[in-house]
């Protein structure tokens, strides 16, 4: 027994001595050449160690190298995939003798990693051993084994153990070969720990991206299952002052051609403090107009597939079920799918939202916009008044470029929509967005206590934004609708309409000036505010003397209908028909939207006996046309007396019916019997002649 112990002790001394002496006996260049050759055989790429190398066997197999570079894939933008200031590797000896790789320490100091994809989306981290050529192999070097020979070999990764694995003060560069865009992360510090492949892999660390620190953390429950193409539980967390992402679910790695790629499914909680700031931080600044796109939050069941082999784009595909989304004040629930692998992202969603206020996403009205100046009724509009009216439309450039950021098919149920001052009630919208062109079909629309259907198109594909509107309305309250859309509050009633309008322009003012189309309208049980046409005709001698009193008047009607055409923003109507208990009114004229100006003539007709509702519907009467002119927030009304002069005899006969009954009064103490007043004299008195 004593001899046995002596022998074993001697052997131990020899082993220790050899471990201490061999590193000094074997030339360092032998280590370098062997390491470089083995790396070439395993990856098909060249490893270069330009600095000193140290090697030791005890207490563990340790290799330390400085100034290390690892070649990139053929055709890559950067010649090196990795540059290391220092590499320290320590492997436990006893597990290595049994085929296990137990990393005691693996430290990369000041490592610079250059990751990139080519035009086909293939990453430079995907190694192709077959790419090794005889020219790459050094003379006398061992040639790589064939796949058949490797098939029965046991992979060292099958028993991988990680102790102190760190990347300190590193830099990671990423270049997208399909888009040509590049990204970089600095101050990268990561730590990995893994007892073995049957225990969880823990990842902790952080980095700096565009000047902002980001924390990283995660845990992979079953690494061996993931390496075998199976599923493993996964927890991930990313955090910064702009964005927080937490995922809890499962991951699988089933690579093409037999699998779909890397898959993830589980619960996700994603929150952004400000979407515009996040996009700018990520190098993708948003150019959409308005003040919106602030806080964003998404919660739901996530299913994501990366590097798909069975899709047209072959890129990432993300879907949410049972999703809860919020953007600014908008809240939505439903399902969402996004395909991120194409030239632009494609989104498909079915959502139910609260009030959809679009004003934060529209250009702000021009700060120089001013309302048209009031004018004295009866005066012709001045050039300055017309110019001031035009200022009511914004000259700020319209920006539809955001429509080109994605393609989408959306089915929306909304509690309401607000666009500028226009308020739309509950409705259903089907929105299709493709290559900068948006079409929204309104199948159900509650609009100002009525109902409507329509189609809205926005075209941002060209240099000049374009819009189109097809609309059918029934039972809509006209006064609030017209006030909210064009600022006109002179018409009340229940409206129905059928119209098609389109236009294009670089600003709101230019767009309004290019509107063209046609339509028909019908108002029931309403009133024209600001004028009483029946009173104008019945009381010619006083109706136009008190302008303020006229503003408080109304012309009630049971029906008001007509049709219109529109060209260059000017609406023309020639068949206005108003039916009222006391009168019938025809009309023709224009409404100039760019100048916000009205030039219209209405021709009222009432019974010559001054009878109202008891009179005949088609009873003859005096025709006194009324001219309606001016900016629509300061309209003037005046009689067109030229119609009376065309038929003075008929006018006098009709005026006798209107003004008759007024008798001349006898002079005080006189005996002359009273005589009927002369209508001609009354007309002279009316016009001070």
Write out pLDDT tens, residues 658-676.
444 444 445 555 555 555 5
Residue 223: its H or E element? helix 223-227
Residue 537 φ/ψ, nearest 5 degrees: -80, -35
Return the minimum-mean-pLDDT range out of 335-339, 352-356, 374-378, 593-597: 374-378
pLDDT at 395 exceeding the cut of 80: yes
DSSP notation for 248-299: EEEEEEE-TTTS-EEEEEEEEEEEES-HHHHHHHTT------SS----EEEE
Residue 50 φ/ψ, nearest 5 degrees: -90, -20
Q: Cα 152 from chain centroid?
A: 54
pLDDT tens for 186-219 read: 898 988 887 777 888 899 999 998 889 999 999 9
CB burial readout 557-576, b (16+ within 10 A) else e: beebbbbbebeebbbebeeb
C-alpha 349/C-alpha 518 separation (Å) is 34
- For the chain, percent of residues with pLDDT exceeding 70: 68
Label residue 174 left, alpha or beta by phi (over 0 means left) and psi (-120 to 50 means alpha).
beta
C-alpha 355/C-alpha 378 separation (Å) is 44
Q: In the prediction, which pLDDT does 234 show?
A: 94
Residue 283 φ/ψ, nearest 5 degrees: 85, 15
C-alpha 339/C-alpha 584 separation (Å) is 62
C-alpha 104/C-alpha 366 separation (Å) is 67
pLDDT tens for 469-480 read: 998 988 888 888
C-alpha 608/C-alpha 655 separation (Å) is 8
pLDDT at 276 exceeding the cut of 80: yes
CB 309 within 8 A of CB 257: yes
pLDDT tens for 47-81 read: 888 888 777 766 667 778 888 888 888 888 888 98
Contacts of 416 by beta carbon, 8 Å cutoff, 6+ apart: 354, 355, 356, 423, 424, 425, 426, 427, 446
Roughly what angle, to the nearest 10 degrees, separates helices 679-686 and 648-659?
90
Mean pLDDT of 352-369: 71
pLDDT tens for 501-560 read: 999 999 989 999 999 999 999 988 888 877 776 666 555 444 444 444 455 677 788 888
Q: Pick from 72-76, 99-103, 677-681 the range whose average pLDDT is largest.
A: 72-76
Residue 390 φ/ψ, nearest 5 degrees: -60, -25
pLDDT tens for 229-275 read: 888 999 999 999 999 999 999 998 765 555 556 888 999 999 999 98
pLDDT tens for 611-657 read: 433 344 444 555 668 888 999 778 887 877 776 666 666 666 655 55
Q: In the prediction, which pLDDT does 544 show?
A: 44
Q: In the prediction, which pLDDT does 142 show?
A: 45
Mean pLDDT of 574-593: 86
Mean pLDDT of 301-305: 90
CB 532 within 8 A of CB 514: no
């Amino acid at each position: 027994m004593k001899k046995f112990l002596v022998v074993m002790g001697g052997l131990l001394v020899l082993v220790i001595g050899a471990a201490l002496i061999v590193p000094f006996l074997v030339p360092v260049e032998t280590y370098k050449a062997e390491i470089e050759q083995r790396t070439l055989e395993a990856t098909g790429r060249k490893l270069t160690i330009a600095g000193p190398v140290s090697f030791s066997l005890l207490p563990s197999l340790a290799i330390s190298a400085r100034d290390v570079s690892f070649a990139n894939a053929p055709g890559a933008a950067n010649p090196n995939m990795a540059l290391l200031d220092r590499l320290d590797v320590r492997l436990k000896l006893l597990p290595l003798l049994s085929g296990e790789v137990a990393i005691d320490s693996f430290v990369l100091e000041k490592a610079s990693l250059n990751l990139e994809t080519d035009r086909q989306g293939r990453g430079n981290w995907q190694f192709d051993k077959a790419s090794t050529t005889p020219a790459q192999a050094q003379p006398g070097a061992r040639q790589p084994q064939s796949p058949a020979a490797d098939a029965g070999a046991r992979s060292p990764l099958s028993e991988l153990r990680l102790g102190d694995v760190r990347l300190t003060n590193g830099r990671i560069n990423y270049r997208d070969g399909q888009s040509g865009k590049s990204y970089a992360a600095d101050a990268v510090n990561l730590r990995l720990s893994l007892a073995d492949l049957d225990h969880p892999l823990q990842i902790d660390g952080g980095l700096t991206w565009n000047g902002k620190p980001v924390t990283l953390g995660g845990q992979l429950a079953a690494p061996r299952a993931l390496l075998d193409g199976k599923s493993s539980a996964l927890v991930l967390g990313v955090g910064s002052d702009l964005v927080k992402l937490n995922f809890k679910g499962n991951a699988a790695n089933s690579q093409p051609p037999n699998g779909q790629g890397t898959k993830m499914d589980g619960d996700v909680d994603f929150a952004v403090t400000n979407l515009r700031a996040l996009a700018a931080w990520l190098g993708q600044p948003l150019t959409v107009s308005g003040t919106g796109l602030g806080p964003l939050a998404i919660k739901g069941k996530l299913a994501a597939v990366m590097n798909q082999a069975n899709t047209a784009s072959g890129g990432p595909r993300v879907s949410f079920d049972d999703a809860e989304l919020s953007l600014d004040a908008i809240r939505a629930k439903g399902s969402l799918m996004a395909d991120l692998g194409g030239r632009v992202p494609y989104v498909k969603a079915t959502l139910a939202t609260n009030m959809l206020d679009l004003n934060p996403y529209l250009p702000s009205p021009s700060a120089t916009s001013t309302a048209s100046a009031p004018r004295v009724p009866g005066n012709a509009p001045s050039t300055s008044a017309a110019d001031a009216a035009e200022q009511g439309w914004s000259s700020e450039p319209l920006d539809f470029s955001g429509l080109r950021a994605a393609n989408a098919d959306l089915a929306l149920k909304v509690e309401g929509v607000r666009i500028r001052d226009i308020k739309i009630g509950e409705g259903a919208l089907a929105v299709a967005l493709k290559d900068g062109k948006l079409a929204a079909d309104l199948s159900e629309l509650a609009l100002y206590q009525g109902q409507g259907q329509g189609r809205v198109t926005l075209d941002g594909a060209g240099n000049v934004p374009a819009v189109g509107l097809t609309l059918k309305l029934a039972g809509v309250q006209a006064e609030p609708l017209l006030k909210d859309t064009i600022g006109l509050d002179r018409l009340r009633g229940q409206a129905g309409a059928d119209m098609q309008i389109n236009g294009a322009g670089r600003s709101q003012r230019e767009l309004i000036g290019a509107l063209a189309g046609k339509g028909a309208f019908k108002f029931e049980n309403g009133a024209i505010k600001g004028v009483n046409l029946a009173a104008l005709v019945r009381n010619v001698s006083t109706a136009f003397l008190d302008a303020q009193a006229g503003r408080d008047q109304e012309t009630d009607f049971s029906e008001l209908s007509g049709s219109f055409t529109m060209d260059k923003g000017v609406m023309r109507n020639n068949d206005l028909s108003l039916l009222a208990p006391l009168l019938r009114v025809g009309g023709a004229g224009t409404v100039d939207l760019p100048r916000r100006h009205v030039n219209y003539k209405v021709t009222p007709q009432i019974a010559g006996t001054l009878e109202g509702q008891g009179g005949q519907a088609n009873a003859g009467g005096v025709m006194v046309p009324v001219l309606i002119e001016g900016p629509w927030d300061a309209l003037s009304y005046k009689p067109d007396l030229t119609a009376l002069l065309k038929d003075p005899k008929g006018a006098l006969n009709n005026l006798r019916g209107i003004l008759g009954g007024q008798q001349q009064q006898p002079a005080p103490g006189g005996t002359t019997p009273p005589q009927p007043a002369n209508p001609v004299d009354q007309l002279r008195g009316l016009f001070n002649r």
